[in-house]
Amino acid sequence: MNVTITLIKDQPQVTWPIVENPTTYTAIGYDTTLQLAVAALKTETTRLIMEKFKMTKTQATDFMYKTWNCPISEVVDIVLGTYCVIPKDRNAPAANPLPKKDNSEFWVTHASNADPMVALKAAVMASIKKISSKLHITADRSYRLSTFVTDCQFGPYRSGPYDITCLVPKSIYRG
């Protein structure tokens, strides 16, 4: 893999770095709690969409929710941050809803809570237990494996409890 990073200085409207590739932008949000990180993420994502697409705040917020793809950046060894991947195509289709139960591709765990950290911990713990059971490995091995294979994401958040879904690809099992 060959990666080139270009640092563009003196961008006063940008609070956090923005990642760009040919098809998407990525906005990030970090803070001392996951709840504050989500709030920062929504602010940064809305600001980025407004700037890049010349949309009003309402239009940008609607586009953010329509295309919502916001994983949590660290799942097991918690660093309090998250990011949203925003398509560059203004006519991008709506994001598919996150699954709530296992399907042909993923083992899925889900939790909801008014505190996103509580929801995240519940979903991750359930994922660790599920991996342990499905792969017939100890919980500590499942924990270590989870740091590499578990993808947890927020459902679109407007208000109320936070929904967290954790996905583990079934393709990791070769037995």
39 and 79 co-located in one domain: yes
- Residue 66 domain flag: yes
Residue 145 lies in a domain: yes
Average pLDDT over residues 75-86: 74
Sign of torsion over alpha carbons 98, 102, 108, 114: positive
Instruction: Report phi then psi at 171, rounded to 5.
Output: -65, -10
What total number of domains does the chain contain? 2
Residue 52 sits in which domain range?
A: 19-87
Which two three-digit tokens encode residue 172?
């990791």
Of 87, 119, 143, the last residue of a domain is: 87
CATH code: domain of residue 141 = 3.10.28.20
Q: What is the largest CA-CA distance in the chain?
A: 53
**Do 28 and 79 fall within a single domain?**
yes
Domain assignment present for 1: no
DSSP H or E run through 35: helix 34-53
pLDDT category, 147, cuts 50, 70, 90? confident
71 and 115 share one domain: no
Last residue of one domain, picked from the residues 87, 121, 138: 87
Does residue 76 carry a pLDDT above 60? no
My answer on whether 114 and 163 are in the same domain is yes
Listed residues 34, 52, 87: the one ending a domain: 87
27: helix, strand or coil: strand
For 96-117, how does the pLDDT look when each residue is reduced to its tens digit (9 = 90+)?
999 999 999 999 999 999 999 9
Tokens 């109320």, located at residue: 160
